[in-house]
Chain A
Amino acid sequence: MTDIILETCNLRCQYPDGTIALQDISITIKKGKKIALLGTNGAGKSTLLLHLIALIKPTSGKIFFQGKELHYNRSSLANLRSRVGLVFQDPESQLFAPSVRQEVSFGPINLGLAKKQVEERVFSSLELSGIPHLVDKPVHLLSYGQKKLVSIAAVLAMKPELLILDEPTASLDPHNSKEIMQLLNTLNQKGMSVLLVTHNVEEAYGFADEIILMNNGLITGQGTPEIILSQDELLADNHLTKPIVLEIFNSLQLAGHLPKNLPIPRSRQALMDLIQNNTPIQDNNGR
């Protein structure tokens, strides 16, 4: 049981106005994994996140953290939040301090670290996010992409075991998105578990080891990306589309241009390589 960080058991959430945001959610999040939580707008993803870090108490159901049931008292909440970090979708509502240094130092100070360690954390997390030069900049003069990176650095400074990001690449340009995805991969290689919440199928497919599909407050699928995202019917039920790489790969195989026993490519580059290595070379000399 030690390799499971977080587990939810029949979570149900009904808002005071009667909206049922979560119907019955049971998921497990394992250590060291890259997980993508996929679902359309309004599927209940963000509500689930708020439950995972215990900012909302479920109407019914339980959360297990490190194998123990989470009781919503001060010490267990502090423990949970020091180990699970959440990056909100809108950096503007997460960033409260006027300067980057202040913002990033907030988390580590709350962990009770000494000033010197806090400084180290601030520096190292900004370095990791690739923005050490912004340390003394005022937040309100940063670009949206920079604000996003600061909001990630602010959570990284707490060195969480599990990093949860709510739509980290939403409204970012491709370059910034790529940098953030690379950062998440680096973090995962260093041993951090990452839970990426997104409605972008391409992004989830390229990144995750495991996909959790969510629709209407229910978990509708969980498994490896290759298996989950190649099921046309399941995707259609969840109002999602197949990732383009997988779609092209499948149709090339169907049409007989690629052999059947190939490993499924996970990125554009991998698909290109497969096509290049497997296309029969036309011999035009007619020997």
Chain B
Amino acid sequence: MLLDRFSYNSPLGQVHPVEKTFFAIVNMIICILANSAIISFLVLVLMAGGTTFMGKVPLRFYLKLLLLPITFLSLGSLSIAVTTINPTDMVICQWSLLGYPLGITTESLHTSLMVFTKSLACSSCLFFLILTTSMLDIIDLLRKLRIPELFLELMLLIYRFLFVLWDSGQKTYLAQSARLGYSSGKKGLHSMSMLVSGLLLQSLRRSRELTLALEARGYNGSLQVLARDYTYSTRNITIICFIEILLLLVAYKGGSII
């Protein structure tokens, strides 16, 4: 819910969503294809810089956010680094577990580092996108990509009512705690079950009310709304293209592109 706020207050919120999405996705693709730790590192720095410096997301918060994929990726990479050992491998360290020879080889270490940096860089690309581009813009963007209208309407409603539901859930939770509803494990379980069933009933009521409210304004089966207009900026596009070419060049010089 907090991430959502950043996207609305972001100075990059005024930038055309297509430009931002293009930037993030192309960087991701280069990262995946280049298969090089240097490129991944460059993309990570670029995206982190873009998000914190230009998007004005506090650095501390950003690092904390990055810690999430880092934890996940560390565990994942570790399991790639540790493999069963063949006699021909270049072994860095090894031990045996229940008679199986386990260890880290130069090759497995290399692969795991590559996976780690690549995934982290890709996460930073996605963080850039969600911290600077609101869900609204993303839905508008999907509409431009000719995603079926039904999905977009669903996304719109889900996105809006997620907050409504979250809000009323929170209020109910507070009201329950104020009357000691969560003072013990058993009571807590009971209160939570009441909260969930209450929310279900509320949602049903809300959907009925919403139908009435929509019909009152001439709802005829499709939820058409006005999208926000953005203008492309030649400056931004030039800068983005320049960065991408530079990245490709580095990748090419490094000889790492497939």
User: A: which residues have CB within 8 A of B?
Assistant: 50, 53, 55, 78, 81-82, 85-86, 88, 90, 92-99, 101-103, 105-107, 109-111, 115, 118-119, 122, 136-141, 154-155, 158
Contacts and interface: CB of A to CB of B under 8 A. Distances in A.
Contacts of A97: 156, 160, 223, 225
Interface residues of B, number: 31
Contact of A96 (B134, B136, B157): B157
12 contacts: A55-B216, A85-B216, A93-B213, A97-B156, A101-B228, A102-B156, A106-B224, A106-B225, A107-B218, A109-B224, A138-B136, A154-B217
Contact of B159 (A50, A95, A98, A155): A98
A211 to B, nearest CB: 24
A105 B226 contact: yes
Given A96-B157, A99-B228, A106 B223 contact: yes
Contact of A98 (B136, B212, B219): B136
A277 B217 CA distance: 49
A109 B217 CA distance: 10
A160 to B, nearest CB: 10
Contacts of A96: 156-157, 160, 210, 213-214, 223
A140 B5 CA distance: 10
Contacts of A98: 135-136, 156, 159-160
B220 interface: yes
B136 A102 contact: yes
B97 to A, nearest CB: 52
B107 interface: no
Contact of B209 (A85, A88, A110, A154): A88
A165 B64 CA distance: 47
The main secondary structure of chain B at its interface with chain A is helix
A152 to B, nearest CB: 12
Interface of B: 4-5, 8, 134-136, 156-157, 159-160, 163-164, 167, 206, 209-210, 212-220, 223-228
Nearest to A74: B220
Given A96-B210, A102-B136, A155-B217, A118 B160 contact: no
Nearest to A90: B209
B193 to A, nearest CB: 24
Contacts of A139: 160
B217 A118 contact: no
B135 A158 contact: no
B213 A141 contact: no
Nearest to A97: B225
Nearest to A94: B213
Contacts of B217: 81, 85, 106-107, 110, 154-155, 158
A99 B159 CA distance: 10
A253 to B, nearest CB: 44
Contact of B225 (A55, A102, A138, A141): A102
Given A106-B223, A138-B8, A138-B134, A53 B216 contact: yes
